[in-house]
Structure 1
C-alpha cells in the first residue's frame, strides 16, 4: 500500500512507525498545492492535516482509495468529489481532549490570576522593590463559585465541564443561539451570557456558529467576564472582541485560534496591546501525547479500511 503524508510537520516529528508498518510510507514536511499531484500520483492513501484536496485533484488521482484527515474537521476535503470517485475519507476525533482541556484551564488560570503580568514584573525586578513580602498589583480571581458557561457540549465541552466542577464552578450549558426550545439541563443562549463569569467555547465552526459571539453578545456579558476560545477562530468576531477588551466590556480573553491561520499581520487580535488578552498559536490540541494518539488512530483507520471495515468514516 502506497501511503503519502502531505504535511508531516504538523505532527511535530512524532514517530510514524505505526503507519509505516502498513505499507510504503512517503512523508513530506509540507506540500504546496501545485506539488500534490506529482507527489501523490501513485498514492493509495493520502494523509493530510490542513492541505486541501479539491475536486480537481481527487479526480486526477485514479489510484487513490483513502484520504485520512489528521484532525477532526474535514472542511479541507471536497467530500462530494471523494464520494463521486469512490474515495473513502476518515477522520480522528477525541484524541486531543485531555490536551485541549488542560490548555483551556492553563489560559484561564493565567488570565484570572494575572500570572503573565506578575511574571513580567518579577523579571523586571519589581518584586525586589516591594515594600512588603509580596506584590498585589493586579486582581486575582478564583474559578470556584463562578458561573462557568460552556458553548458546545460534546465530549470536549463535557470534559471541560467536569474540570470546572472540580474547581467548584457553577457550570451552565448554553442552548444553541436562536433555539426556540431550551433542552433540559441547558439555559437559553443570551440568558447564559448575561450571568456568565466565564465563557468557554467548544463548538465546531459552521454556517450557524460563524460570528456566534459578536457585538451584541459582548454587550450581554458582564464587565468582569472572561471568554476562552480554543475551538475555531471564526466563531468569535475578532474585531468585536478587540472592541470589547478596549471598552472594558469584559475582563479578559484567551484565544488559541484565529479566522485565518497562520496569523496575518493585520489581524486585530495580533495587534492588540492590552494585558487582558492571551494569544497562543493554535496549540491547545498539540500535546505530545495527543499527537501520538492521533498517529495511532490514523494507523487504525488505514488498517480497518484495508480489512474492509468502516472506522471513523466520513465518506
Structure 2
C-alpha cells in the first residue's frame, strides 16, 4: 500500500514520528508540495494525506490510483469533496485532536488583549517600574472577564470547550449553532442568532467550519453591531472574515481589539489590511500546534487509514457524495 503525505512538515517538524502510518504501508513524506508537483508525487499513491495542499477536481482526475484521502486537520476545505465522492474516494478528517489546545489559545489571546502582559513586561524592563513613585502602575485598563458575555459562533467540540472555559471564568455564554444541541448543564447559557451574538457579546470567538455559504460572513454589517468595547477572536478559518471590513472597524474604534490566528491567505500577504490595523494581534496559525495535539493528530490519522483498510472508513466528510 503506497501512502504519500504531501505536506508533512508542520505535523512533524522532527518531534512527532510517522510510526502510525509507517505501520500500514510504504510511506513517503514530503515536507511541502507546490501545486505543480502534486500530480507527479501522488500519481502512484493509493492513499494521499494533506493538510493545506489543495486537491482540486482537476488534480484528482489525474490520480488514477487514488482510493483514499486523509486530511491532517479538522477543516477539509482544501479537498473537492464532490469530485472525490464521484470517484468513490472517501475523504476523512481528524476531528477533536486539538480541542483543548485551541480553546486554551483562545483565552491566551483574550487575556493578552485584556491585560497587555508583554507591554507591561517591556515597561518594567525599560525601567519604568523602578522609576515609578508608586508600588504599581498600568499602561492600559486591566479588564476582568467575570460577568462579561462570551459569544461563540459554532458549537462543535472546540466551541463547547471554549464555552466551558468561559463559564469557569465567570462569563455568560451565548452560542450560535446550525445543529441543535442540548443546553449545557451550567448557567447562564443560551443559544442565540448570529445577529444577537454580535450585538450582545463582549467577546466573540469563531469556531465554525468554512463552507461555500459562509465565506466572509463576518462583514461590515455584523461588525457594526458589536459593542465598541468588544473583542473579536478567530482561530477557525481566515476566509470567514471580510478582513478589510474588520480592519476598518478597528481603525474607526468600533471594537476594542481583535486577535486572529488565521487569515484569508496563508502565509499572510504583505498587503493584508490587518497587519496595520490598530488593536489587532496576529499569530501564524499555531493554536493547534501543541505537541500533545499533534501527537493526537498523528495517532488519529493512522487510525483513520487503518479503519479504511479494514473496510470501515471513519470520520468521512463526503459521505453525501459517496452515497450518490
TM-score w.r.t. the length of structure 2 is 0.90
Alignment correspondent of 2:65: 63
Sort the Cα spacing of 1:194 and 1:56 in 2 relative to 1 into closer, same or farther, 3 A: closer
- Output aligned runs, 1:101-120, within 5 Å: 101-120=103-122
| Cα distance in structure 2, aligned partners of 1:210 and 1:57 | 23
Sort the Cα spacing of 1:194 and 1:33 in 2 relative to 1 into closer, same or farther, 3 A: closer
Q: List alignment gaps of at least 5 residues for structure 1.
A: 177-182
Q: Does 1:228 pair with 2:230?
A: no
Q: Tell me which of 249, 252, 257 is aligned to 1:252.
A: 257
Alignment correspondent of 2:4: 4
- SS at 2:248's partner residue? helix
TM-score w.r.t. the length of structure 1 is 0.92
For the 8 Å contact 1:210–1:235, the answer to whether it is kept is yes
Instruction: Tell me the alpha carbon deviations over residues 83-113 of structure 1, each in whole angstroms, 9 at most, x when there is no partner.
Output: 2333222111111111100100001011111
Instruction: Tell me the alpha carbon deviations over residues 45-76 of structure 1, each in whole angstroms, 9 at most, x when there is no partner.
Output: 11111111222332222222111111122222
Instruction: Name the Cα RMSD after superposition.
Output: 1.9
Shift of 1:175: 6.1
Q: List alignment gaps of at least 5 residues for structure 2.
A: 184-189, 319-324
Q: Does 1:283 pair with 2:269?
A: no
Alignment correspondent of 2:321: none
For the 8 Å contact 2:21–2:27, the answer to whether it is kept is yes
| Cα distance in structure 1, aligned partners of 2:253 and 2:294 | 38
| Cα distance in structure 1, aligned partners of 2:214 and 2:61 | 31
- Output aligned runs, 1:121-200, within 5 Å: 121-174=123-176, 185-200=190-205
Shift of 1:304: 0.8
Across the two proteins, how many residue pairs are aligned to each other?
308
| Cα distance in structure 2, aligned partners of 1:202 and 1:171 | 14
Alignment correspondent of 1:307: 310
- SS at 1:11's partner residue? coil
